Amino acid sequence: IQLTQSPSSLSASVGDRVTITCRASQDIRSYLAWYQQKLGKAPKFLIYAASTLQSGVPSRFSGSGSGTDFTLTISSLQPEDSATYYCQQILSYPLTFGGGTKVEIK
Amino acid sequence: EVLLVESGGGLVQPGGSLRLSCAASGFTLSDHYMDWVRQAPGKGLEWVGRTKDKAESYTTEYAASVKGRFTISRDGSENSLYLQMNSLKTEDTAVYYCVRVDCSGGNCYNKPFDVWGPGTMVAVSS
C-alpha cells in the first residue's frame, strides 16, 4: 500500500492553521497513524486510528479521514512544531510510511 | 519509564554482517510486537520487520528488501531484541530504530508504534 503525502514541505507563520494530507493507494479504513520527527531525533507518535490523539500530544493537533484520504491539522502552529511529519498505514504488511512533510516556521 | 536503546551500529563492508541490539526497560518485551524501522540519510522512514508477541509465538514478518538477509530475534531473559543483518549492501546504510508496538488492551494487531529508541547508525561502504 503506497502512501502519498502532500505537500512535501511548507512554510507557515506562528499561529497559522496547517493541513497535511496523506492519500493511500487502497482503502485502509482508519488504520493510519501520524508521527512527528524533529531534526536529529527519533520519530514521536502523535495520532492513531486516523483521529485519536496520543496521550500528552497538544490538542492543537488533530487528524481526520478514513478509507484513502486523511489529514493532519495543526490548528495554531507553534515554533516547537517545526518538524517532518509522516503518515503510516498499519493495515497490512509491508507496513509503509508516506514520504514525509517538512514543516518550517517563517 | 519505558525505554528502548539500540547498540551495535558501525561501519561494515558490502557483503559483511552486523548484529544490532535493542535493550528494553520499563515493560515486558514478551507482551509486545517489536519492530525495526530504518531511515537512510536525508530520506524517509522504511519499515524493516517485526517479531510478534509471545502469544503469537514470536513469529516474524519482513520487508521484501531485507527478507532472507535480515533476521529479528529476542532474548527474553535479557529483555532484548536483535537484528542480525547479513549480506549487507550499500543501500542498507541508515539509522536503525527499534520500536515498540502499542499493545494496550492486550491487542497488538493493527496498532501503531508508541515507543522509539534513539537509533543506531549503520554505514555499509568499502
Predicted pLDDT at B48 = 98
Q: Closest-CA residue in chain B for A40? A: B118
Cis ω before B118 (30° cut-off from 0):
no
Q: What is the average per-residue pLDDT within B29-53?
A: 96
Q: Report CB contact under 8 Å: A90, B116.
A: no
- Residue B102 has, within 13 A of its CA and on its CB side, a CA count of 17
Instruction: Give the Cα-Cα-Cα angle B125, B41, B48 (nearest 5 degrees).
Output: 85
Predicted pLDDT at A9 = 98
Question: How confident is residue B22, by pLDDT bands cut at 50, 70 and 90?
Answer: very high
Count of pairs with CB atoms under 8 A, one residue in A, one in B = 54
Partners of residue B46 in chain A, C-beta under 8 Å: 97
Identify each DSSP E strand in B3-119 by its residue range. Answer: 3-7, 10-12, 18-25, 34-39, 45-51, 60-62, 70-75, 80-85, 94-101, 113-116
Q: Are strands B18-25 and B80-85 parallel, antiparallel or unpaired?
A: antiparallel
Mean pLDDT of chain B: 96
Return averaged pLDDT per consecutive 10 residues of chain A, 106 residues in all. 98 98 98 97 95 96 97 98 98 98 97
Q: Report CB contact under 8 Å: A86, B114.
A: no
